Structure 1
Amino acid sequence: MSAVVDHDAVPGGERVALVTGAQARLLAYAHEDAIAQSRFEREVRALAAALPTARYAINLCEDRYRFLVAFCAAALRGQTTLLPSSRAPAVIADALAQHADSYCLGDIALDPSPPQYWRLPETLAQAEGAPPTIAHDALVAIGFTSGSTGQPKPNPKTWRAFRASTAQNLAALADLLAPNRVTPLVATVPPQHMYGMEMSVLLPLLGPIAVHAARPFFPSDVAQALADAPAPPLLVTTPVHLRALVESGIALPPLAGIVSATAPLAQDLALAAETRYGCEVREVFGSTETCVIARRRTAHELAWTPLPGVRVSPQPDGTAVYAPHLPEAVVLADLMEVGADGRFVLRGRSADLLEIAGKRASLGDLTRKLLAIDGVEDGVVFQLDAGEGAVRRIAALAVAPTLDEAGILQALRASIDPVFLPRPLRIVEALPRNETGKLPRDRLLQLLQGNAG
């Protein structure tokens, strides 16, 4: 089965396919439903004709298959899908306000209902016609950064760029996919997140992948979704979900492999997952700005291997990323040590580096030392804002039901310099992780101030 075509071989104004493969091939599935590409195309055509007239759409569909249909219908209609960093009402309202001529679409009743909300019908209509195509350089999506280091920033994505990055992802996963047939895929990440978009939307649209319609969350739900697969599936997940699976002790059916992203994957967790589930755990590295750019087998290696055509170049304030799907270099805040063979090791983020009283540390290392304390179940160390000329204080939040703040600080004194002790340090019931396990900075500040909202 062919993958995407060479993106450079198609003029920007020419129309290209929204979905590739044979009409009869499996594109999506659920517990008792198998959806062929032909049915998918018919539903895309019918929904495109029914959508409201607008320039932008915010796709809030919970069902992953309906997200696929709505995303392609919007693109066929000439609309750009907005992918906010969160589906929280305030974030959605802000995205609508910043993009005139926009609306929301979804597949369930929402309370509160977002402004300009258009709900998909219970039964998707079907319409015959030519295979759906769009302009090669059509602006199909705008992804927003997670807000973990500040305000979310928009990142436009054309269909040309998505086709090129998907070709790279298919090459990066090729040895985990079944030869000459469709590989089922189950994802725990939402399709609205760029990692979820790349792995659970674009792969089934442009490669030999069939995606499960659900987004399982609890270990038992993940196990059931994997059991629905007609062949050993690929599990696309995050370190948070993977740890929950391993610690649950739940049995899983045979897997083609496990893919992880959105946060650093601990080597011991990767090794534990490989041992328990008998398959490779492949970590991918990327960002909303760049999409996936590198891969590694975390259980056995530290260095990252760039995807085909990707090159990274250290800069004073981070690292420049060059890739076939990027119109120009993108500078990330990540600090990388690049070897002669082009592989690289992450050394932290420029924003994470601290210098106080002539001493240096990193927020990532301080967080690891916090998490190493017996009794700390989850935690984060971060830097507070400060006025001009003032020293920025370090704060921490910890989930530690059996400890108190004084005990945690005492334990930290054994492993870090006193100038880097976090004050304030607050014990909380849970960290405000989003759907992919990240920690938006504004939510951390709210929780530190005693406001869980």
Structure 2
Amino acid sequence: MTRVRHALTQVPVLVRGLNVIRRSGLVPVTRPDQALLSLVRLRQLGPIAGAARIAAGRDSTAVGLVDERGPLTYAELDTRSNALARVFANHGLGPDSVIALLARDHRGAVLTMIAASKLGARLLLMNTGFARPQFVDVARREGVSAVVHDQEFTRLVDAIDVPTFLSWADEPGTGRTLEELVDGVDDGRLPNPRRPGGLVLLTSGTTGTPKGAPRQVRSPLAIAQFLDRVPLRVGEATMLAAPLFHGTGLSQFLLSFGLGSTVVMRRRFDPEETLRAIQDNRVTALVVVPTMLRRILDLGPEVLARYDTSSLRIVFTAGSALPPELGNRATEAFGEVVHNLYGSTEVAVATVATPQDWREAPGTVGRPPVGCTVALYDDQDRRITVPNVVARVFVGSVLAFEGYTDGRHKDVLDGLLATGDLGHLDERGLLFIDGRDDDMIVSGGENVFPGEIENLLLEHEAVAEAAVTGVPDEEFGQRLKAHVVLRQGASLDVEGVREHVRANLARYKVPREVVFVEELPRNATGKLLRERLP
């Protein structure tokens, strides 16, 4: 009976999800045969290779990818990845292999992702910011069979003894790249693998060696979790500034491929080059982490005005907290297009704030989309249902992982997965994230969340970046220390920082120490590394 009741509760979710997918244009109402064929392709080849083949079959001239070397159609991606899969197979790689990808965003990385899926191999997405010891630890733990890498990462790759393939060469004569390897190789279709190749994302590793979080998309309705509150449509263009190895970039890459849209990418993020790419490709969706968005806006009104960004309908941001000040600046520059996603490597999607949500409550991460559940629990595992009470955030989603590759798992309550964050709901049901549960500072018996003070400091016209930490104090247990980066040409002293906080927040939230620094330590996706602050 329990299973029957659960199945009945899922019917409205299923209906709503199907309606979301229909609205996106992904399933033509007049061609149910195409819809059925698409489902078959996705089950046979997975979300990357399957989407490429579906798009190629729909329109052989449709452009799937644009990088520094120009465009590639979906048909070219499909055939070239067939050839690359054969190259991999000739080197002994197959369904039981783990192929590590250590590359920036370009055609070689995308072809590797598609080819691995066609072989049924597991693809491990490596962080391009890894140091050599991290790379070696992760490669050994995950049982890597081969590495596909850019030339700049050769020193890291040489630390392990497995076959390697060069995905991008900065200098000629350094070895045969993937494009050279597939030249002349049979690019006809391969037999379908027993099962599509899986993906392994890595956590950011801010608290130790990055953990592997396998991702397997089993339900075609999973795409509705993004489309429900982010109005992407078939056949548009997405500028992918966030890196592919990160959940933000990967999710939107998969989604854009699924919609048969053009994905525009560059090997390295450059704020002005991003604006140029938006203009030249009539990009409708920009995918960034907040640090990237700040660098674009910091170019200033004169530079922004040089480029036509009127095609943008969506600025999609995720990966770290979007401060109210930054989201408001983006809205002023691009219009009401900001969509702020909250999720994690483990849970994937939790909530999305639409432009309307942001207008009503700047700083919110919004509401759960179809198929997602968010609940708050206190330290005694009791569910919190009243507004404005800070508690632990738990999420349920069909995209959630099933445990780390080392056998560990996140805490689970009522079938929901812990995110490790603390948050609260307002009277409208909008979610706000107050910070990581291990970032909370207890000073003089008061609980202080760094994010609240940091967001306030960012509202000061002289402040470019800010981070607040707790340091040991004999009297208060911990005292607040603010690390401040000033805008170019601006001036502000210690007392000015303290007075700005004192005028807007409770006295116990005023930093007792203030230091001015040139920059804040961040990882490759712009996430603040608090443990590296002095």
Structure 2, unaligned runs of 5 or more: 1-24, 28-33, 168-176, 380-391, 403-414
After superposition, give the CA deviation of every residue in 1:315-345 in whole Å (9 maximum; x if it has no partner): 1251221112335531112334457986534
Matched, 1:118 2:170: no
Q: In structure 2, how many angstroms separate the alpha carbons of the residues matched to 1:339 and 1:134?
A: 48
Q: Name the CA shift for 1:5/1:67 in 2 (closer, same or farther; >3 Å).
A: farther
Q: In structure 2, how many angstroms separate the alpha carbons of the residues matched to 1:150 and 1:420?
A: 29
| AA partner of residue 225 (structure 1) | A
Instruction: Specify the alignment match of 2:293 in structure 1.
Output: 242
Q: Name the CA shift for 1:57/1:441 in 2 (closer, same or farther; >3 Å).
A: farther
Aligned-residue offset at 1:392: 5.0
Q: In structure 2, how many angstroms separate the alpha carbons of the residues matched to 1:392 and 1:104?
A: 45
Instruction: Specify the alignment match of 1:329 in structure 2.
Output: 416
After superposition, give the CA deviation of every residue in 1:293-317 in whole Å (9 maximum; x if it has no partner): 3211354133512111111111125
Matched, 1:56 2:98: yes
Q: In structure 1, how many angstroms separate the alpha carbons of the residues matched to 2:84 and 2:92?
A: 12
Matched, 1:199 2:252: yes
Instruction: Specify the alignment match of 1:74 in structure 2.
Output: 116
- Given candidates 354, 360, 364, the residue that maps to 2:441 is 354
Instruction: Specify the alignment match of 1:256 in structure 2.
Output: 312
Q: In structure 1, how many angstroms separate the alpha carbons of the residues matched to 2:115 and 2:472?
A: 43
Instruction: Specify the alignment match of 1:451 in structure 2.
Output: none
Aligned-residue offset at 1:48: 1.8
Q: In structure 1, how many angstroms separate the alpha carbons of the residues matched to 2:119 and 2:137?
A: 24
Q: Secondary structure at the match of 1:236?
A: strand
| AA partner of residue 26 (structure 2) | S
After superposition, give the CA deviation of every residue in 1:227-268 in whole Å (9 maximum; x if it has no partner): 331x44311112222233233222332223211112232344
Q: Which moved more, 1:293-302 or 1:68-77?
A: 293-302
Instruction: Specify the alignment match of 1:292 in structure 2.
Output: 349
Q: In structure 1, how many angstroms separate the alpha carbons of the residues matched to 2:179 and 2:394?
A: 47
Aligned residues: 432
Aligned-residue offset at 1:346: 3.4
The answer (yes or no) to whether the contact 1:144–1:154 under 8 Å persists in 2 is yes
Matched, 1:221 2:273: yes
Aligned-residue offset at 1:406: 6.5
Instruction: Specify the alignment match of 1:142 in structure 2.
Output: 200
Alignment of 1:18-37 (within 5 A): 18-20=49-51, 21-23=54-56, 24=60, 25-30=62-67, 33-37=70-74
Structure whose CA Rg is larger:
2
Over the aligned positions, Cα root-mean-square deviation in angstroms equals 3.6
Q: In structure 1, how many angstroms separate the alpha carbons of the residues matched to 2:268 and 2:293?
A: 12
Q: In structure 2, how many angstroms separate the alpha carbons of the residues matched to 1:385 and 1:357?
A: 11
Instruction: Specify the alignment match of 1:233 in structure 2.
Output: 284
The answer (yes or no) to whether the contact 1:319–1:336 under 8 Å persists in 2 is yes
Q: In structure 1, how many angstroms separate the alpha carbons of the residues matched to 2:508 and 2:398?
A: 44
The answer (yes or no) to whether the contact 2:119–2:197 under 8 Å persists in 1 is no
Q: In structure 2, how many angstroms separate the alpha carbons of the residues matched to 1:16 and 1:187?
A: 21
Q: In structure 2, how many angstroms separate the alpha carbons of the residues matched to 1:247 and 1:290?
A: 32
Matched, 1:276 2:309: no
Q: Name the CA shift for 1:376/1:204 in 2 (closer, same or farther; >3 Å).
A: closer
Q: In structure 2, how many angstroms separate the alpha carbons of the residues matched to 1:60 and 1:228?
A: 28
Q: In structure 2, how many angstroms separate the alpha carbons of the residues matched to 1:342 and 1:112?
A: 50
Aligned-residue offset at 1:70: 0.9
Aligned-residue offset at 1:410: 6.3
Q: In structure 1, how many angstroms separate the alpha carbons of the residues matched to 2:333 and 2:498?
A: 35
Q: Secondary structure at the match of 2:525?
A: coil
Q: In structure 1, how many angstroms separate the alpha carbons of the residues matched to 2:78 and 2:205?
A: 35
The answer (yes or no) to whether the contact 1:96–1:103 under 8 Å persists in 2 is no
TM-score when normalising by structure 2: 0.70
The answer (yes or no) to whether the contact 1:336–1:347 under 8 Å persists in 2 is yes
Q: Name the CA shift for 1:216/1:172 in 2 (closer, same or farther; >3 Å).
A: farther
Instruction: Specify the alignment match of 1:266 in structure 2.
Output: 323
Q: In structure 2, how many angstroms separate the alpha carbons of the residues matched to 1:357 and 1:164?
A: 49
The answer (yes or no) to whether the contact 2:129–2:524 under 8 Å persists in 1 is no
Q: In structure 2, how many angstroms separate the alpha carbons of the residues matched to 1:135 and 1:164?
A: 22
Q: Secondary structure at the match of 1:160?
A: coil
Q: In structure 1, how many angstroms separate the alpha carbons of the residues matched to 2:351 and 2:371?
A: 10
Q: In structure 2, how many angstroms separate the alpha carbons of the residues matched to 1:109 and 1:149?
A: 26
Q: In structure 1, how many angstroms separate the alpha carbons of the residues matched to 2:467 and 2:450?
A: 8
Q: Name the CA shift for 1:307/1:152 in 2 (closer, same or farther; >3 Å).
A: same
Matched, 1:105 2:142: no
| AA partner of residue 196 (structure 1) | G
Q: Name the CA shift for 1:30/1:218 in 2 (closer, same or farther; >3 Å).
A: closer
Q: Which moved more, 1:41-50 or 1:258-267?
A: 258-267
Matched, 1:156 2:214: yes
| AA partner of residue 375 (structure 2) | S
After superposition, give the CA deviation of every residue in 1:76-101 in whole Å (9 maximum; x if it has no partner): 33332223455222332331232234
Matched, 1:128 2:187: yes
| AA partner of residue 368 (structure 1) | N
TM-score when normalising by structure 1: 0.81
Structure 1, unaligned runs of 5 or more: 449-453
| AA partner of residue 271 (structure 2) | P
Q: Secondary structure at the match of 1:34?
A: strand
